[in-house]
Amino acid sequence: MRVHVIGCSGSFAGPDGAASSYLIEQEDADGRTWRVLMDLGSGAFGPLQKLLDPAELDAVIISHLHPDHYLDLTGLEVFWAYHERTDLGQLPIHAPEPLAERLSAVLSREGHVPDGVTCSPFDYRVITDGHRFTIGPLEIEVREVVHPVEAYGFRVTSGDEVLAYSGDTDACPALDELARGADLFLCEAGYIEGRDDRFTGVHLTGRRAGESAARAGVGRLALTHIPAWTDPSVPLAEARAVHDGPITMVRPADILEVSR
Protein backbone atom coordinates (compact mmCIF):
# COMPACT_ATOMS: atom_id res chain seq x y z
CA MET A 1 0.00 0.00 0.00
CA ARG A 2 1.22 3.51 -0.86
CA VAL A 3 0.07 6.94 0.25
CA HIS A 4 0.67 9.94 -2.03
CA VAL A 5 0.62 13.26 -0.20
CA ILE A 6 -1.39 15.68 -2.34
CA GLY A 7 -1.81 18.35 0.31
CA CYS A 8 -0.84 18.47 3.98
CA SER A 9 -1.12 22.12 5.03
CA GLY A 10 -3.00 22.46 8.30
CA SER A 11 -6.35 24.28 8.54
CA PHE A 12 -6.00 26.17 5.23
CA ALA A 13 -3.96 25.99 2.04
CA GLY A 14 -0.46 27.38 2.57
CA PRO A 15 2.05 29.15 0.29
CA ASP A 16 3.76 25.83 -0.39
CA GLY A 17 0.78 23.57 -0.85
CA ALA A 18 -2.85 22.58 -0.49
CA ALA A 19 -4.78 21.53 2.59
CA SER A 20 -5.27 17.86 3.54
CA SER A 21 -5.56 15.24 0.82
CA TYR A 22 -3.96 11.81 0.42
CA LEU A 23 -4.24 9.21 -2.31
CA ILE A 24 -4.09 5.56 -1.21
CA GLU A 25 -3.03 3.04 -3.87
CA GLN A 26 -3.05 -0.72 -3.56
CA GLU A 27 -2.99 -3.61 -6.02
CA ASP A 28 -5.47 -6.46 -5.67
CA ALA A 29 -4.77 -10.17 -6.31
CA ASP A 30 -5.47 -9.68 -10.04
CA GLY A 31 -2.96 -6.84 -10.34
CA ARG A 32 -5.58 -4.08 -10.67
CA THR A 33 -4.55 -0.89 -8.86
CA TRP A 34 -7.24 0.59 -6.60
CA ARG A 35 -7.18 4.33 -5.87
CA VAL A 36 -8.96 5.80 -2.88
CA LEU A 37 -8.77 9.48 -2.05
CA MET A 38 -8.68 10.33 1.66
CA ASP A 39 -9.90 13.91 2.19
CA LEU A 40 -9.89 16.62 -0.49
CA GLY A 41 -9.30 19.93 1.28
CA SER A 42 -8.91 23.50 0.05
CA GLY A 43 -6.65 23.75 -2.98
CA ALA A 44 -6.04 19.99 -3.33
CA PHE A 45 -7.96 19.27 -6.55
CA GLY A 46 -5.27 21.08 -8.59
CA PRO A 47 -2.25 19.03 -7.49
CA LEU A 48 -4.37 15.84 -7.55
CA GLN A 49 -4.56 16.24 -11.33
CA LYS A 50 -0.75 16.25 -11.57
CA LEU A 51 -0.78 12.78 -10.02
CA LEU A 52 -3.57 11.06 -11.92
CA ASP A 53 -6.65 11.51 -14.08
CA PRO A 54 -9.37 11.96 -11.41
CA ALA A 55 -11.64 9.71 -13.53
CA GLU A 56 -9.44 6.82 -12.30
CA LEU A 57 -10.58 7.24 -8.68
CA ASP A 58 -12.49 4.32 -7.18
CA ALA A 59 -13.86 6.10 -4.10
CA VAL A 60 -13.36 9.00 -1.71
CA ILE A 61 -13.39 8.92 2.08
CA ILE A 62 -13.85 12.17 4.02
CA SER A 63 -12.84 12.48 7.68
CA HIS A 64 -14.98 15.51 8.57
CA LEU A 65 -16.68 18.55 7.13
CA HIS A 66 -14.17 21.30 7.76
CA PRO A 67 -13.24 23.10 4.50
CA ASP A 68 -9.59 22.07 4.72
CA HIS A 69 -10.72 18.43 4.41
CA TYR A 70 -13.63 18.43 1.93
CA LEU A 71 -14.10 21.72 0.10
CA ASP A 72 -12.34 20.75 -3.16
CA LEU A 73 -14.96 18.03 -3.67
CA THR A 74 -16.72 20.93 -5.40
CA GLY A 75 -14.13 20.71 -8.20
CA LEU A 76 -14.31 16.92 -8.37
CA GLU A 77 -18.13 17.07 -8.52
CA VAL A 78 -18.05 19.41 -11.54
CA PHE A 79 -15.35 17.23 -13.16
CA TRP A 80 -17.52 14.11 -12.75
CA ALA A 81 -20.80 15.80 -13.77
CA TYR A 82 -19.52 17.38 -16.99
CA HIS A 83 -16.90 14.79 -18.07
CA GLU A 84 -16.96 13.81 -21.76
CA ARG A 85 -17.06 10.15 -20.75
CA THR A 86 -20.64 9.12 -20.03
CA ASP A 87 -19.67 5.72 -18.56
CA LEU A 88 -18.11 7.00 -15.32
CA GLY A 89 -21.11 6.04 -13.20
CA GLN A 90 -21.45 7.49 -9.71
CA LEU A 91 -18.34 7.96 -7.59
CA PRO A 92 -18.81 6.58 -4.03
CA ILE A 93 -18.14 9.24 -1.37
CA HIS A 94 -17.97 7.90 2.20
CA ALA A 95 -18.45 10.87 4.54
CA PRO A 96 -20.37 12.29 7.50
CA GLU A 97 -24.08 12.57 6.81
CA PRO A 98 -24.46 16.33 6.08
CA LEU A 99 -22.05 16.28 3.11
CA ALA A 100 -24.63 16.05 0.31
CA GLU A 101 -26.57 19.04 1.62
CA ARG A 102 -23.39 21.12 2.15
CA LEU A 103 -22.05 20.44 -1.35
CA SER A 104 -25.42 21.12 -2.94
CA ALA A 105 -25.50 24.54 -1.29
CA VAL A 106 -21.96 25.45 -2.38
CA LEU A 107 -22.57 24.23 -5.93
CA SER A 108 -25.99 25.93 -6.21
CA ARG A 109 -27.42 22.63 -7.38
CA GLU A 110 -30.94 23.67 -6.39
CA GLY A 111 -31.15 25.56 -9.71
CA HIS A 112 -31.57 24.30 -13.27
CA VAL A 113 -29.20 21.50 -14.34
CA PRO A 114 -28.31 21.80 -18.05
CA ASP A 115 -29.37 18.98 -20.38
CA GLY A 116 -26.72 16.29 -20.74
CA VAL A 117 -25.19 16.86 -17.31
CA THR A 118 -24.95 13.98 -14.85
CA CYS A 119 -26.98 15.57 -12.08
CA SER A 120 -26.01 13.05 -9.34
CA PRO A 121 -22.33 12.27 -9.97
CA PHE A 122 -21.69 11.22 -6.36
CA ASP A 123 -23.04 8.19 -4.50
CA TYR A 124 -23.09 9.44 -0.88
CA ARG A 125 -22.48 6.80 1.80
CA VAL A 126 -22.78 7.85 5.44
CA ILE A 127 -20.01 6.89 7.88
CA THR A 128 -20.50 6.48 11.64
CA ASP A 129 -18.38 5.37 14.59
CA GLY A 130 -17.43 1.69 14.34
CA HIS A 131 -18.51 1.43 10.69
CA ARG A 132 -16.44 -0.96 8.54
CA PHE A 133 -16.49 -1.27 4.78
CA THR A 134 -14.39 -2.57 1.90
CA ILE A 135 -13.12 -0.87 -1.25
CA GLY A 136 -11.35 -3.39 -3.49
CA PRO A 137 -8.43 -4.82 -1.45
CA LEU A 138 -8.77 -2.15 1.29
CA GLU A 139 -10.69 -2.76 4.52
CA ILE A 140 -11.58 0.50 6.26
CA GLU A 141 -12.56 0.93 9.91
CA VAL A 142 -14.07 4.25 11.02
CA ARG A 143 -13.69 5.67 14.53
CA GLU A 144 -15.10 8.89 15.90
CA VAL A 145 -12.43 11.20 17.33
CA VAL A 146 -12.46 14.47 19.30
CA HIS A 147 -12.91 17.68 17.30
CA PRO A 148 -15.41 20.59 17.34
CA VAL A 149 -17.51 18.88 14.63
CA GLU A 150 -18.42 15.23 13.92
CA ALA A 151 -15.01 13.84 12.91
CA TYR A 152 -13.50 10.46 12.17
CA GLY A 153 -10.15 8.74 11.85
CA PHE A 154 -9.56 5.77 9.56
CA ARG A 155 -7.72 2.47 9.93
CA VAL A 156 -7.02 1.07 6.48
CA THR A 157 -5.90 -2.55 6.25
CA SER A 158 -4.77 -4.61 3.26
CA GLY A 159 -3.39 -8.07 4.00
CA ASP A 160 -0.98 -7.51 6.88
CA GLU A 161 -0.36 -3.83 6.04
CA VAL A 162 -2.03 -1.21 8.22
CA LEU A 163 -2.34 2.54 7.70
CA ALA A 164 -3.88 4.68 10.46
CA TYR A 165 -5.03 8.25 9.77
CA SER A 166 -5.99 10.58 12.59
CA GLY A 167 -8.10 13.03 10.64
CA ASP A 168 -8.35 16.07 12.94
CA THR A 169 -8.49 15.26 16.64
CA ASP A 170 -7.20 15.93 20.11
CA ALA A 171 -5.86 13.00 22.15
CA CYS A 172 -8.49 10.31 22.81
CA PRO A 173 -8.71 6.54 23.37
CA ALA A 174 -10.23 5.99 19.90
CA LEU A 175 -7.11 7.47 18.29
CA ASP A 176 -4.83 5.05 20.15
CA GLU A 177 -7.08 2.15 19.15
CA LEU A 178 -7.04 3.21 15.49
CA ALA A 179 -3.25 3.41 15.53
CA ARG A 180 -2.57 0.20 17.47
CA GLY A 181 0.35 -1.60 15.80
CA ALA A 182 -0.09 0.34 12.53
CA ASP A 183 2.81 0.22 10.09
CA LEU A 184 2.27 3.89 9.22
CA PHE A 185 0.48 6.36 11.49
CA LEU A 186 -0.38 9.49 9.51
CA CYS A 187 -1.17 11.84 12.34
CA GLU A 188 -1.97 15.51 12.59
CA ALA A 189 0.06 17.84 14.82
CA GLY A 190 -1.67 21.15 14.16
CA TYR A 191 -0.91 22.74 17.52
CA ILE A 192 2.18 23.55 19.57
CA GLU A 193 2.54 22.95 23.30
CA GLY A 194 2.28 26.23 25.18
CA ARG A 195 1.25 28.42 22.24
CA ASP A 196 -2.11 26.70 21.72
CA ASP A 197 -2.94 25.50 25.24
CA ARG A 198 -6.08 27.67 25.41
CA PHE A 199 -7.73 25.49 22.72
CA THR A 200 -8.84 22.07 23.96
CA GLY A 201 -10.57 19.25 22.10
CA VAL A 202 -9.44 20.46 18.68
CA HIS A 203 -5.97 19.35 17.52
CA LEU A 204 -2.99 17.31 18.64
CA THR A 205 0.46 18.77 19.21
CA GLY A 206 3.64 17.02 18.16
CA ARG A 207 3.94 15.86 21.75
CA ARG A 208 0.42 14.44 21.94
CA ALA A 209 0.83 12.76 18.52
CA GLY A 210 4.10 11.21 19.71
CA GLU A 211 2.53 10.02 22.95
CA SER A 212 -0.31 8.35 21.02
CA ALA A 213 2.20 6.70 18.64
CA ALA A 214 4.18 5.39 21.62
CA ARG A 215 1.08 3.98 23.36
CA ALA A 216 -0.08 2.39 20.09
CA GLY A 217 3.33 0.89 19.23
CA VAL A 218 3.29 2.08 15.61
CA GLY A 219 5.98 1.24 13.05
CA ARG A 220 6.41 4.79 11.72
CA LEU A 221 4.86 8.11 12.67
CA ALA A 222 4.30 10.62 9.87
CA LEU A 223 3.30 14.05 11.16
CA THR A 224 1.01 16.22 9.05
CA HIS A 225 -1.52 19.11 9.09
CA ILE A 226 1.07 21.75 10.07
CA PRO A 227 -0.38 25.25 9.48
CA ALA A 228 1.56 27.83 7.46
CA TRP A 229 2.32 29.86 10.60
CA THR A 230 4.08 26.95 12.35
CA ASP A 231 7.74 25.98 11.96
CA PRO A 232 7.54 22.19 11.33
CA SER A 233 10.72 21.60 13.33
CA VAL A 234 8.82 22.47 16.53
CA PRO A 235 6.13 19.72 16.45
CA LEU A 236 8.78 17.31 15.10
CA ALA A 237 11.02 17.96 18.12
CA GLU A 238 8.03 17.63 20.47
CA ALA A 239 7.19 14.20 19.03
CA ARG A 240 10.82 13.02 19.14
CA ALA A 241 11.04 13.92 22.83
CA VAL A 242 8.32 11.39 23.73
CA HIS A 243 8.54 8.68 21.03
CA ASP A 244 11.65 6.65 20.14
CA GLY A 245 10.43 5.16 16.83
CA PRO A 246 10.93 6.57 13.30
CA ILE A 247 9.20 9.92 12.78
CA THR A 248 8.93 11.94 9.58
CA MET A 249 7.28 15.24 8.67
CA VAL A 250 5.25 14.84 5.48
CA ARG A 251 5.65 17.22 2.53
CA PRO A 252 3.53 17.73 -0.60
CA ALA A 253 4.26 15.06 -3.28
CA ASP A 254 5.78 12.64 -0.75
CA ILE A 255 5.11 8.95 -1.36
CA LEU A 256 4.79 6.96 1.88
CA GLU A 257 5.14 3.20 1.69
CA VAL A 258 2.98 1.22 4.10
CA SER A 259 4.74 -2.06 4.79
CA ARG A 260 5.78 -4.34 7.61
Q: Given the rule CB under 5 A, which residues bind Zn ion?
A: 66, 68, 168
142 by Cβ neighbours in 10 Å (0-12 / 13-18 / 19+) ranks as: buried
Cβ contact 180:216 at 8 Å: yes
Smallest distance from Zn ion to CB 232, Å: 16
Identity of the residue numbered 117 = V
Smallest distance from Zn ion to CB 249, Å: 16
CA distances from 187 to 26, 82, 223 (A): 20, 35, 5
Strand 152-158 and strand 138-144: the pairing is antiparallel
Smallest distance from Zn ion to CB 111, Å: 30
Smallest distance from Zn ion to CB 85, Å: 32
Q: How many CA atoms lie within 13 A of 161 on its CB side?
A: 15
Cβ contact 7:224 at 8 Å: no
Question: How many whole angstroms separate alpha carbon 157 and alpha carbon 175?
Answer: 16
Nearer to Zn ion, 35 or 66 (CB): 66
Cβ contact 258:11 at 8 Å: no
Smallest distance from Zn ion to CB 181, Å: 25
